[in-house]
Amino acid sequence: MTTQPRRGNRDLIKAMNRNLILNILRGHGPLSRSQLTELSGLSVGAVSQITSALITENWIKEDGEGDYTGGRRQTMLRLNPTAGHVIGIKLMEQRIVTVLTDLETTPLAYLERPLPSAQSPEVVIEGLRGVIDGILAASGVSRSRVVGVGIGLAGVIDYDRGIVHYSPYFHWRDVPLADILSTQIGLPVYIENDVNSLTLTEQLFGAGHEVANFVVVTVGRGIGMGMVFNHQRYQGTRGGAGELGHITVESNGLPCDCGKFGCLEAMAADPAVFRYVEQALAQGIASRVRPPITLQRVVDAAREGDELARSALSRSGRYLGMGLATVINILSPSLIVLSGEGVIAEDYRLQSTMEALHEHTFDGLLDNVRIVVKPADEELWARGAAGLVVGKVFESPLLTPLTQDA
């Protein structure tokens, strides 16, 4: 007796084929139906059926005709980036930065608002609801057109369960932020460590697109790292992977916010630069840098030839290079994207970074590593959070449990 396939199995195969077509178009479009047939390995009929449904649902659209190669010209298909909208949020200590984007994370509207000093989960969630309502009102986009909200914030984040296990800025423990906010706003909500969300955007649309093994390292108020291995993001147990800022680079070094001493973050992040300058000024060393000390003021002074500013940036850059060398020695990625607000210091910081990188990387491992420097302003961080939603839209249905047959 022939056993009929279960409905759940047929639905899964259909969803997988649909997802395959969407991802081929996302990565290689625009393409003709015959090209989609060749790349997907599906039948002509299956591709025709899937693409017709996706056009009806507005996920893809026809995009003119392809180059003439003999015979009938073929209509090209591409993803429709305006099939839906996404809200991306960068949640910081004192501010919430928000962008509304299309499905290519192209920013269409921007809004930022301050956070009050009382930062309990209830207060922050109220602030998040406010910026979501505000950006929808300012853009004129209907809530029904929004496919989801992505939030990036510092800390140990369980992406799969939407839980903030630890927030160093808000001092939260095990807060189910995604579920609480989703219930209140009536939209899917995805949360992730902010560096991991930036890494996802690099994977979808940036330098890491189609790169199997790469890392994103950010330097600014802190130092973080996101990782992609074999085209898959690596988050570790409970989302705790990538705390590069808390490897020890100086056993008797400066105290770190985490309670240890000599962490890479304590020695190389922007606050380390400020502390070095402040201590030198207190000792009477002449400098063009004037309080309140900011990275931009230190960089401006370095450009004007200020030796203290240059020394502070070079010192932090050297420690950063030691940290990057450790990454290469352990993970051997083919690409490092160096990002964050701190890279505005340019060669005043990065020259010593590269020198230390060459000095401390194991022989030959650096030869095939491409290093891309990409400054990240607050809008880019928020756009990275929007990438969480886009990634979910194109996620394989194999990663999403099916409802059991009744």
Instruction: Please give the average per-residue pLDDT across 263-291, as a whole number.
Output: 94
Residue holding tokens 């047939």? 37
pLDDT in tens, 164-183: 999 888 989 999 999 999 99
Do residues 255 and 269 touch, judged by C-beta distance below 8 A? Answer: no
CA 332 – CA 325 distance, rounded (Å):
10
The pair phi, psi for residue 220, each rounded to 5°, is -175, -125
Amino acid letter at 375? P
Does 7-80 match 207-375 in CATH topology? no
CB neighbour class for 104 (10 Å; exposed up to 12, middle 13-18, buried from 19):
middle
What pTM did the predictor assign? Answer: 0.82
Whether residue 310 is predicted with pLDDT greater than 70 in this model: the reply is yes
Confidence category of residue 14, pLDDT binned at 50, 70, 90: confident
Closest CA to 274 of 287, 262, 261: 287
Whether residue 404 is predicted with pLDDT greater than 50 in this model: the reply is no
Instruction: Please give the average per-residue pLDDT across 273-296, as a whole number.
Output: 94
CA 239 – CA 196 distance, rounded (Å):
10
Confidence category of residue 66, pLDDT binned at 50, 70, 90: low
Confidence category of residue 109, pLDDT binned at 50, 70, 90: very high
CATH architecture, range 85-200+383-398: 2-Layer Sandwich (3.30)
Do residues 93 and 76 touch, judged by C-beta distance below 8 A? Answer: no
Instruction: Please give the average per-residue pLDDT across 69-89, as a whole number.
Output: 83
From 3.40.1160.10, 3.100.10.10, 1.10.10.10, 3.90.740.10, which CATH number describes the 7-80 domain? 1.10.10.10
CA 243 – CA 163 distance, rounded (Å):
17
Whether residue 356 is predicted with pLDDT greater than 80 in this model: the reply is yes
The better pLDDT of the pair 240, 298 is held by: 298
% of the chain with per-residue pLDDT over 90: 65
Helices vs strands, H then E, count in the chain: 12, 16
Confidence category of residue 313, pLDDT binned at 50, 70, 90: very high
Do residues 149 and 190 touch, judged by C-beta distance below 8 A? Answer: yes
Q: What is the rounded average pLDDT for all residues in the chain?
A: 89
Q: CA end-to-end span of the chain, whole Å?
A: 22
DSSP H or E run through 175? strand 173-175
The better pLDDT of the pair 160, 406 is held by: 160
Amino acid letter at 140? G
Of the listed ranges 119-123, 295-299, 347-351, the one predicted with least confidence? 119-123
**Which tokens sit at 6?**
């279960």
Please give the pLDDT value at position 402: 37
Closest CA to 153 of 97, 214, 235, 233: 97
DSSP H or E run through 314? helix 307-331
CA 299 – CA 333 distance, rounded (Å):
30
Residues contacting residue 370 through CB under 8 Å, at least 6 positions apart: 334, 335, 336
- Please give the DSSP secondary-structure letter assigned to residue 319: H
Concatenating the DSSP letter of every residue in 198-234 gives: HHHHHHHHSTTTT-SSEEEEEESSSEEEEEEETTEEE
CA 168 – CA 356 distance, rounded (Å):
29
The neighbouring-strand residues paired with 370 are 335
Whether residue 304 is predicted with pLDDT greater than 50 in this model: the reply is yes
**Which tokens sit at 77?**
């298909």
Please give the pLDDT value at position 71: 54
Q: Where are the domains of the chain?
A: 7-80, 85-200+383-398, 207-375
pLDDT in tens, 217-273: 999 989 999 999 999 989 888 777 889 999 999 988 898 888 889 999 999 999 999
% of the chain with per-residue pLDDT over 70: 93
DSSP H or E run through 97? strand 95-101
pLDDT in tens, 135-159: 999 999 999 999 999 999 988 899 9
Do residues 99 and 107 touch, judged by C-beta distance below 8 A? Answer: yes
From 3.30.420.40, 2.40.30.10, 3.30.300.30, 2.60.40.420, which CATH number describes the 207-375 domain? 3.30.420.40
